[in-house]
Chains A and B, each alone.
Chain A
Amino acid sequence: MSSIVEVCLAGESVILDADRALIWQRRVLVADVHLDKASSFQRAGMAVPLGDEQRDLDRLAALAARHDAAEIIVLGDLVHAPPRPGSTTERVLLNWADAHRDLRLSVVLGNHDRDARERLAHWPLSWLDDDVTLGPFRLRHAPAPCPDPALFEIAGHLHPVVRLRDGNRDTARLSVFWQRPGGLVLPAFGSFTGGHPVAPAPGDRLHAVHGGSILSLPPRAA
Chain B
Amino acid sequence: MPDAGPRIPAGALPAAVDRWLDARGWTLFPFQRTAIAAYLAGESGLVHSATGSGKTLAAILGPLCEALTTDPDASPSAQVLWITPLRALATDIAHNLRTVIEGVGLPWTVELRTGDTNSSARARQRRRLPSLLVTTPESLALLLSYPDTLRQLRGLRAVVVDEWHELLGNKRGVLLELGLARLRRLAPALRTWGLSATLGNTETALQVLLGPGRHGRLVASDLDRPVTIDTLIPASLERFPWGGHIGLKQLDAVADAIDEAGSTLVFCNTRFQAEAWYDALLRRRIDWVDRMALHHGSLDRDLRERVEVLLRDGSLKCVVATSSLDLGVDFTPVDQVIQIGGPKGIARLLQRAGRSGHGPGRRSRVRCAPSHALEMLEYAAARRAVAAGRIEPREPLRNCLDVLAQHLVTRVLGEPASAEDLLAEVRDCHAFATLSDAHWAWTLDFLTRGGPALKAYPEYQRLVVQDAVLRIASPALARRHRMGIGTITADAAIQVQWLGGGRIGHVEESFISRMKPGERFMFGGRVLELVRVRDMTAFVRRATSSKRAIPKWVGGRLPLSSELADGVLELCDAFAAGDTREPEVAALAPLLRVQRDWSALPGRDTLLVERIQTREGHHLFLYPFAGRLVHEGLSALVAWRIGQQQPATFTTAVNDYGFELLTADPLDVDEESLRRVLDPTGLADDALACINAGEMARRRFREIARIAGLVFQGFPGAGKSTRQIQASSGLVYDVLARHDADNRLLEQARREVLEQELEALRLTQVLERSRTQRIALTQPERLTPFAFPLWVDRIQTRLSTERWQDRVARMLGSLEKAAGAA
The A40-86 residues at the B interface (CB cut-off 8 A) are 40-52, 55, 80-81, 84
CB of A216 closer than 8 Å to a CB of B: no
Assess whether A193 is in contact with B724, with CB atoms less than 8 Å apart.
no
Q: Name the segment of B192-200, B356-364, B458-466, B776-784 touching the other chain.
A: B458-466
Segment with Cβ contacts to A, from B235-243, B679-687, B732-740: B732-740
Cα separation A160 to B712 with both chains bound (whole Å): 22
Contacts of B446 in A (CB 8 A): 47
Using Cβ atoms and an 8 Å threshold, which residues of chain B touch A52? Answer: 735, 738-739
The contact size tier of chain B is 35 or more
The 8 Å CB contact of A45, one of B456, B480, B734, B739, is B480
Closest CB in chain B relative to A33 CB, distance in Å: 15
Contact B738 A55, beta carbon cutoff 8 Å = yes
Determine, out of B165-173, B292-300, B447-455, the stretch whose residues face the partner at the interface. Answer: B447-455
Query: Do A80 and B709 have beta carbons less than 8 Å apart?
Result: no
- Verify if A191 is at the interface (C-beta below 8 Å from B): yes
- Chain A 154-175 near chain B by CB (<8 Å), digits 1 or 0: 0000000000000111100000
B735 near A49: Cβ-Cβ < 8 Å: yes
Is A2 close to B, CB under 8 A? no
Among B458, B461, B724, the residue within 8 A (CB) of A80 is B724
Residue of A nearest to B447 (CB): A47
Determine the distance from Cα of A41 to Cα of B562 in the docked complex, in whole angstroms: 44
Query: Would you give the 0/1 interface string for B737-757, flagging 1 where the beta carbon is closer than 8 Å to chain A?
Result: 011100000000000000000
> Which residues from chain B contact A170 at a C-beta distance below 8 Å?
692
- A1-38 vs B, CB cutoff 8 Å, 1 = contact: the mask equals 00000000000000000000000000000000000011
Q: Which B residues lie within 8 Å of A45 (CB)?
A: 460-462, 473, 477, 480-481, 709
Q: Which residue of the partner chain A has the closest CB to B727?
A: A194
Contacts of A44 in B (CB 8 A): 477, 480, 712, 725
Q: Which of B651-678 contact A (CB under 8 A)?
A: 651-652
Looking at B724, B725, B728, the one whose CB has the most chain A CB atoms below 10 A away is B725
Docked pose: A44 CA to B731 CA in angstroms: 17
Q: Tell me the minimal C-beta distance from B48 to chain A in angstroms.
A: 40
Q: How far is the CB of B192 from chain A (nearest CB, A)?
A: 32
B451 and A49 within 8 A (CB): yes
The answer to whether B731 touches A87 (Cβ under 8 A) is: no
Contact check, A42 vs B457: say whether CB atoms are below 8 A apart.
yes
Do A47 and B724 have beta carbons less than 8 Å apart? no
* Residues of chain A from 67 to 118 with CB closer than 8 A to chain B in the complex: 80-81, 84, 87-88
Cα A134 to Cα B473 with chains together (Å) = 48
On whether the beta carbons of B712 and A46 are closer than 8 Å, the reply is yes
A181 to chain B, nearest CB (A): 24
Q: Is B739 touching A50 in the complex (CB atoms < 8 A)?
A: yes
Interface flag for B86 (CB, 8 Å) = no
Contact B651 A42 (CB under 8 A): no
Residues on the B chain within 8 Å of A41, using CB: 725, 727
Distance in angstroms from A87 CB to nearest chain B CB is 7
Q: Which residues of B contact A192 (CB under 8 A)?
A: 727, 731, 734-735
CB contacts under 8 Å to B, within A128-153, are: none
- Contacting A at CB under 8 A, from B108-148, are none
**A39, A46, A55: the one within 8 Å of B709 (CB):** A46
B710 interfacial contact with A, CB 8 Å? yes
Across-interface contacts of B349 in A (CB, < 8 A): none
User: Do A81 and B724 form a contact, CB below 8 Å, given A42-B460, A47-B457, A52-B739?
Assistant: yes
Contacting residues, chain A, for B728 (C-beta < 8 A): 194
Q: Are B455 and A88 in contact (CB under 8 A)?
A: yes
Interface of A is mostly: loop
Cβ A49 vs Cβ B453 within 8 A = yes
- Chain B nearest Cβ from A94, distance in angstroms: 15
Q: List, in ascending order, chain A residues with CB within 8 A of B710's CB.
A: 46-48
Are A169 and B797 in contact, with the CB atoms below 8 A?
yes
What is the minimal beta-carbon distance from A110 to any residue of chain B, in angstroms? 14
Q: Which residues of the partner chain A approach B736 to less than 8 Å between Cβ atoms?
A: 48-49
Cα–Cα distance between A170 and B735 once the two chains are bound (Å): 23
Query: A47 vs B711: C-alpha distance in the bound complex, in angstroms?
Result: 9
Q: Which of A42, A84, A88 has the most CB of B within 10 A?
A: A42
* Chain A CB within 10 Å, residue with most, of B458, B724, B798: B458
Q: Report chain A residues within 8 Å CB of B731.
A: 192-194
User: Tally of A-B residue pairs with Cβ under 8 A?
Assistant: 93
Nearest-CB residue, chain A, relative to B695? A170
Beta-carbon contact of B738 and A191 below 8 Å: yes
Q: How many Å from the CB of B792 to the closest CB on chain A?
A: 15
Contact of A51 among B473, B735, B798 (CB under 8 A): B735
Which residues does chain A contribute within 8 Å of B459, judged by CB atoms?
A: 39, 42-43, 84, 87
Min CB gap A32→B, angstroms: 13
- B798 neighbours in A (Cβ, 8 Å): 167
Smallest CB-CB separation from B448: which chain A residue?
A47
CB distance from A77 to the nearest CB of B (A): 12
Which chain B residues numbered 692 to 709 have a C-beta less than 8 Å away from chain A? Answer: 692, 709
Interface residues of B in 453-491 (CB under 8 A from A): 453, 455-462, 473, 477, 480-481
Which of B450, B652, B710 has its CB near the most chain A CB atoms (within 10 A)? Answer: B450
| 8 A Cβ contacts from B381-407 to A | none
CB contact between A42 and one of B455, B458, B481 (< 8 Å): that residue: B458
- Min CB distance A88 to B, Å, is 5
Tell me the bound Cα distance from A41 to B709 in angstroms: 11
In the bound complex, how far is the Cα of B88 from the Cα of A93, in angstroms?
A: 53
- Assess the A47–B480 pair: CB atoms within 8 A: no
- Kindly state the separation between the CA atoms of A180 and B304 in the bound complex, as whole angstroms: 49
> Given the complex of chains A and B, what is the CA–CA distance between A192 and B451 in angstroms?
18
Rounded to whole angstroms, the CA-CA distance of A84 and B459 in the bound complex is 10
Q: Which residues of B contact A80 (CB under 8 A)?
A: 724
The interface residues of chain A lying within 8 Å CB-to-CB of B735 are 38, 48-49, 51-52, 191-192
Residues of A within 8 A of B797 (CB): 169
Smallest CB gap from A46: residue in B: B710
Give chain B residues whose Cβ lies under 8 Å from the Cβ of A47: 446, 450-451, 457, 460, 462, 710
- Enumerate chain A residues within 8 angstroms of B692, measured Cβ to Cβ: 170
Q: Give the Cβ gap from B19 to chain A, nearest Cβ, in Å.
A: 56
Q: How far is the CB of B661 from chain A (nearest CB, A)?
A: 12
**Minimum C-beta distance from B379 to chain A (A):** 30
CB distance from A83 to the nearest CB of B (A): 9
Q: Whole-angstrom distance from the CB of B739 to the nearest CB of chain A? A: 3
Contact B732 A48 (CB under 8 A): yes
Q: How far is the CB of B798 from chain A (nearest CB, A)?
A: 8
In the complex, A46→B405 CA distance in Å? 12
Provide the residues of chain A in CB contact with B740, threshold 8 Å. Answer: 49, 51
Shortest CB–CB separation between residue A149 and chain B, in angstroms?
Answer: 32
Q: What is the bound-complex CA distance between A70 and B712, given in angstroms?
A: 40
List chain B residues, Cβ under 8 A from A37.
Answer: 727
CA distance A45 to B446 in the complex (A): 10
Give A50 to B456 CA distance when docked, in angstroms: 5
Considering the chains assembled together, what is the distance between the CA atoms of A37 and B734 in angstroms? 14
Write the nearest CB–CB distance from A12 to chain B, whole angstroms.
34
For A84, list chain B residues within 8 Å (CB): 459
Expressed in whole angstroms, the Cα–Cα distance for A88 and B458 within the complex equals 7
B458 with A39: CB separation less than 8 A:
yes
Cα A88 to Cα B450 with chains together (Å): 15
Q: Which of A51, A87, A193 contacts B456 (CB 8 A)?
A: A51
| Per-residue contact bits, chain B 612-655, to A (CB 8 Å; 1 contact, 0 not) | 00000000000000000000000000000000000000011000
Chain A residues whose C-beta falls within 8 Å of the C-beta of B473 in the assembled complex: 45
Closest to B732 in A: A48
Nearest B residue to A47, CB-CB: B450
* Least Cβ–Cβ distance between A90 and chain B, in angstroms: 11
Contacting pair A49 B739 (CB below 8 A):
yes
A-B contact pairs, 12 of them (CB 8 A): A39-B458, A46-B710, A46-B725, A47-B450, A47-B462, A50-B739, A51-B740, A167-B798, A169-B797, A191-B734, A192-B734, A192-B735
Contacts A52-B735, A194-B731 known; list 7 others, CB within 8 Å: A44-B480, A45-B461, A46-B725, A47-B710, A49-B457, A50-B457, A88-B458
Q: Which 3 A-B pairs have the closest CB atoms?
A: A51-B739, A49-B456, A47-B450
Q: Show the binding face of A for B, using Cβ within 8 Å.
A: 37-52, 55, 80-81, 84, 87-88, 167-170, 191-194
